[in-house]
Structure 1
């Protein structure tokens, strides 16, 4: 038998071997989770929210990975959402319901489970649970945390227990990204890694990097269809709650935003200028992985901790249950099984992140986690993840304009229930009314649907332990704004 015949006989076997090597999952399933602050779902270049915003690296991440178009948070507030990401639990379960109270010591974060499974873990950036407390948290071998909200320029970092002040116009997004890459260079190469890169951007007051300042000066600012809805008594025709109209003239409203500290157009442009440094950070991380042969076996996840309003219903900021507040960007790249340039309409939430990453790492998901892994959605094996998603927000002492609310959202409808407030609830047909301008709650045609969704909402609260509102101590007692002692 000559060599040609031997090769012909071996060819099917060799082809099978090569195919198996390509399809075999990588031994090290590394994870980089990049979290942005207050990044709304459509504030990315490829989403075409306006004609001039640029996010070339997020656009690249979408092209090379999967865009989860219907990603939501269970609470549109920094600390509760971050706790839900880390625990896989709703706010009423982990009890982090505001931005000031410290997180309970008994809750378990999924990085702790990664540690037990031999992962090297590192945290860089904004923790924002426990207010100004920046001490190293459990679950991370290496820690670099900002104090409270942190600073855009010349930030202070608690690095493994030692607070270090940076100067010389150090910009926070650049600093955190460089330190994360430096840690990756120094890590043990024989263990998988998990990096949590948590940006301050794009939290108000917005401060872009100097190289990006005024990039969008004089650019036209689009206004959403519902911007003027609450400006006159027109809102009554649409059955919009009174508290929404009243908030228009408050700290979180377009007519007195941050008590008159900034005008709307400047506010809008500075948001997108500040976002540019976060986008550059994503690009640096992706370039590093590619240059160091880590691209194939590292899952890169980019997500916002909550959305943000730009004039919808006359509001700014977040907290409420409208789409722009509770919906976030979610982009995931993992060449091992995530198809490049793919997208999905499946609804997922922040509580689903922890179970998904644990399943990827081959770690059993604890029963205490209330989220559900969407790994099959990432693989393209499922088109649906959940029939409905649930939302909760608890009244805050510091921002009393926004009431406690609960919501259930399906693919077509959203029902919002207000608690402790003399006002109407809300029901929207999201397919016919994506801007949530026509409240159907009083329409007899939708009465049964409202009852059904209300029942489902309270069934969810009851079965998940949410029928009691977690109370937290106030930082400042009533009628005594000079005294910071807790009562």
Structure 2
């Protein structure tokens, strides 16, 4: 591996202990070296939501009537990591990256039905070995749809698959427990997590809580106290709602010198968008027929926002307990989403793609002993950084297979070597064939997206001048050198991390019209 190349990519401090070999195998030893002079291991509460996009928080002002007072307070009193991204915008791959500190092509949980390899180690297992009490509450959604306990947790409460907003059945340490139809799952999980923390007060051991909500995943269903609270509110249309435009003009004459249509970047920026994107607008993941026409898409957005209110309440309840117990000052609380979500941008809904609304996630943190007073972290964070961050606060050095890095120094305002670009991957799913396999790279200013296995148009955006990604400059003559450079960096990343092979998985799904039954 060319170390100068990695240094240019901003990856050297993150990959120094990794090497150039594929990273699919991990050491089974759970003993990690301690960080010298690390101090007392801290309690950590990690709160994860589902499908919550980065700017649907009150203080972001994206939706003027949306109220999230507890998220707002975390940003005001703690830290807002405003450039947080996932490496794959999909539930299971993102959750696996959070728990392993690895890319999707490394842990191979590449979709929502892929099994979890037996050799994967989840970071709470390291915490257990180091003396932590650990607990999981909520949505696992990774490797089979069962709710059975998984490695790394002393206490376990989960549900099958996506679960339900009301009347959920929880597997509590191996025993199924059914709750009545008036019990709201977000509130239930929060209550149980707080009760478990209360039980740890006299244990003399640090604790780690992983509170993983179903909210705000479809089918959106708000708590009874919030139902209808935003009825009649007007949903603001995104600027790219009509991008790509239909009925593009005919090609103009070709410039004899450049070989491209006259107008160059200006022409291409208005007309060149992938065909798969145009087709998706007309699917169940498009605004014209969202979720098979279940509700008008604007009504879906309103219900999504109403459902978000109880999630915000959950954050408030957890922090209120920590303050009451005298633990707030010393405990790290992190809130983030497992992936973003499009609500009309480019005429589509859902996630999976590499547009900003899909790949960016909300991320907030509090720990007054380490940082306070509304710190804004501008550096690009990824979900692979969660495990190294929490391990550092436990006083443990991260294992060599983790590609992420601890962002504790960034929270403290310290200067530290950091990445200057992020990489993205998504692999075509049998259940959702409307979105193709793609790989991408994003710097502070530019984004390149390359599609695999389809005859279509790649994408390149200048995020500084076009933050809504409406003008695809993939064929602009003035950007060809940079596009070539970023393409090379994308392949350098894949080669250096064992990502040059698509991890195919067995898929057992009969076709809707009963053709092609079986395993593929």
Q: Specify the TM-score bucket, using the shorter chain as the normaliser.
A: over 0.9
The correspondence for 2:331, drawn from 298, 310, 317, is: 298
Deviation at 1:484, TM superposition (A): 8.1
Q: 1:331-353: CA deviations, max 9, x gaps?
A: 01111212321101100100111
Answering whether residue 87 of structure 2 is matched by residue 74 of structure 1, we say yes
Report the Cα distance in structure 2 between the residues aligned to 1:231 and 1:267, rounded to whole angstroms: 23
SS in structure 2 at match of 1:151: coil
For 1:428, the equivalent position in structure 2 comes to: 461
1:336 equivalent in structure 2: 369
Paired positions, count:
464
Cα offset for 1:313?
0.4
Give yes or no for the alignment of 1:404 onto 2:460. no
d(CA) in 2 for partners of 1:315, 1:49: 18
Report SS of the residue matched to 1:43: coil
1:374 to 392, 407, 412: 407
SS in 1 for 2:461: strand
Find the counterpart in structure 2 of residue 246 from structure 1: 279
| 2:219 equivalent to 1:205 | yes
Q: C-alpha displacement at 1:297, in angstroms?
A: 1.3
Cα RMSD for the two superposed structures? 1.7
Distance in 2 (alpha carbons) for counterparts of 1:478 and 1:263: 27
Structure 1 residue runs of 5 or longer lacking an equivalent are 1-23
Q: In 2, distance between residues paired with 1:227 and 1:36?
A: 25
What is the correspondence of 1:419-458 to structure 2 with a 5 Å cutoff? 419-458=452-491
State the partner residue of 2:154.
141
Q: 1:481 to 1:163 in 2, by over 3 A?
A: farther
Are 1:275 and 2:308 counterparts?
Answer: yes
C-alpha distance after superposition, 1:69-89 (max 9, x if no partner): 100000000000000000000
What SS does the corresponding residue of 2:494 show, helix, strand or coil?
helix
Q: 1:100–1:475: 8 Å Cα contact kept in structure 2?
A: no
Which position in structure 2 is the counterpart of 1:9?
A: none
Using the TM superposition, give the Cα deviation of residue 238 of structure 1 relative to its aligned residue in structure 2, in angstroms.
Answer: 3.2
Q: Which residue of 1 aligns with 2:103?
A: 90
Q: Within 1, Cα distance between the matches of 2:517 and 2:175?
A: 26
Q: CA deviation at 1:168?
A: 4.4
Residue-by-residue CA offset, 1:349-400 (whole Å, 9 max, x unaligned):
0011111111121112111111122221111003773110010000000110
**Any conservation in 1 of the 2:40–2:395 contact (CA below 8 Å)?**
no
2:378 corresponds to 1:364: no
| Aligned equivalent of 2:205 | 191
- Is contact 1:230–1:248 with CA below 8 Å preserved after alignment? no
Determine if the alignment matches structure 1 residue 226 to structure 2 residue 240: yes
Tell me if the contact between 2:41 and 2:393 (Cα under 8 Å) persists in the aligned partners: no
User: Residues 26 and 362 (structure 1 numbering): CA distance in 2 closer, same or farther, change over 3 Å?
Assistant: closer
Please say if residues 138 and 159 of structure 2, whose CA atoms lie closer than 8 Å, have aligned partners that are also in contact.
yes
Aligned partner of 2:388 among 331, 337, 355: 355
Distance 2:417 2:221 in 1: 39
SS in 1 for 2:158: strand
Q: Which residue of structure 1 lines up, in the alignment, with residue 258 of structure 2?
A: none
Structure 2: where are the runs of 5+ without partners? Answer: 1-36, 250-267
Q: How does 1:87-166 map to 2 (within 5 A)?
A: 87-166=100-179
1:180 to 193, 199, 203: 193
Q: Give the conservation status (yes or no) of the 8 Å contact 1:346–1:384.
A: no
Tell me the alpha carbon deviations over residues 91-123 of structure 1, each in whole angstroms, 9 at most, x when there is no partner. Answer: 000000010122111100000000001000000
Q: Contact (CA 8 Å) 1:28, 1:297: kept in 2 or not?
A: no
CA distance in structure 2 between the aligned counterparts of 1:485 and 1:255, rounded to whole angstroms: 32
Residue in 2 aligned with 1:390?
A: 423
**Is structure 2 residue 289 aligned with structure 1 residue 256?**
yes
- 1:52 — aligned with what? 65
| Cα separation, 2, equivalents of 1:55 and 1:378 | 22
> Counterpart of 2:13?
none
Q: Distance in 1 between matches of 2:299 and 2:78?
A: 33
Whose RCO is larger (CA < 8 A, sep 6+)?
A: 2
8 Å Cα contact 1:41/1:329 also seen in 2: yes
Alignment CA distance shift 1:484-1:380 (3 Å): farther
Pick which of 252-261 and 72-81 moved more. Answer: 252-261
Deviations 1:118-156 (CA, angstroms, capped at 9, x unpaired): 000000000000242110000000000111000000101
Match of 1:11 in 2: none
CA contact under 8 A between 2:342 and 2:357: conserved in structure 1? yes
Answer yes or no: is the 8 Å Cα contact 1:25–1:336 preserved in 2: no
User: Is the aligned partner of 1:325 residue 2:358?
Assistant: yes
Once the two structures are TM-superposed, the CA of residue 257 in structure 1 deviates from its matched residue by: 1.2
Task: Go from structure 1 to structure 2 and tell me whether the alpha carbon gap of 1:484 and 1:26 turns closer, same or farther (over 3 Å shift).
Answer: farther
Distance, in Å, in 1 between the alignment partners of 2:355 and 2:248 is: 19
